[in-house]
């Protein structure tokens, strides 16, 4: 099934009080990637889950269980893929969250591999950091604090006991 990725840019300016019942938002389609079912596979996504844009307006898109991040220019032309599906260094199984830091490094949280990877030099190099947190089910966001420190906002679940979640 073909899924489109839409990038929407909207600007809301408010003055005075806001009545939420009367608030309306107009979204303008700026770019569509993968609009043609006959397009090459780089442009087609089963289920895009994460998107971010670097300082040079390159667009990074992760799809559900794809194991790679596809990169497009600001016109939507495919440039390259970063990573591939797997468990080895620089490989990805499941992108939970990703961001771009101030140096345009791509930071990817991979739940299935229990780690996050920092891809530098437009994906040519990487450094892998193990996640020492058990039972992470979702990483809502990741923020670089410095070149070696990262803040990950995540959700965990308790381990199952006899096939059930513990009560209380």
Determine what percent of the chain is predicted with pLDDT higher than 70: 74
Reported as a single tens digit per residue, the pLDDT across 14-33 is 444 555 577 777 878 888 88
Provide mean pLDDT across the span 140-166.
69
**Parallel, antiparallel, or unpaired: how do β-strands 95-100 and 106-110 relate?**
antiparallel
Residue 5 and residue 30: Cα distance in Å, rounded? 11
This prediction has a pTM of 0.72
Strands (E), 55-145: 59-63, 69-72, 78-82, 84-85, 91-92, 95-100, 106-110, 115-120, 125-130, 136-144
Judged against a pLDDT cut of 90, whether residue 97 lies above it is answered with no
How many angstroms separate the CA atoms of 121 and 133, rounded? 28
Which two tokens mark 11? 């600007």
């Amino acid at each position: 099934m073909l899924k489109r990725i839409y990038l929407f840019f909207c600007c809301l300016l408010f003055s005075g009080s806001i009545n939420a019942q009367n608030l309306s938002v107009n979204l303008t389609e700026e770019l569509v990637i993968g609009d043609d079912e006959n397009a090459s596979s780089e442009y087609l996504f089963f289920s895009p889950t994460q998107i971010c844009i670097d300082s040079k307006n390159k667009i990074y898109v992760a799809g559900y269980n794809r194991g790679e991040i596809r990169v497009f220019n600001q016109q939507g032309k495919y440039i390259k893929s970063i990573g591939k599906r797997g468990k080895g260094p620089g490989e990805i199984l499941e992108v939970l969250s990703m961001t771009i830091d101030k140096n345009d490094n791509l930071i990817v949280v991979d739940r299935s591999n229990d780690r996050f990877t920092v891809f530098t030099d437009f994906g040519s190099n990487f450094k892998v950091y193990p996640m020492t947190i058990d039972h992470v089910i979702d990483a809502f966001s990741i923020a670089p604090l410095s070149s070696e420190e990262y803040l990950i906002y995540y959700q965990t679940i308790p381990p199952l006991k006899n096939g059930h979640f513990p009560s209380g």
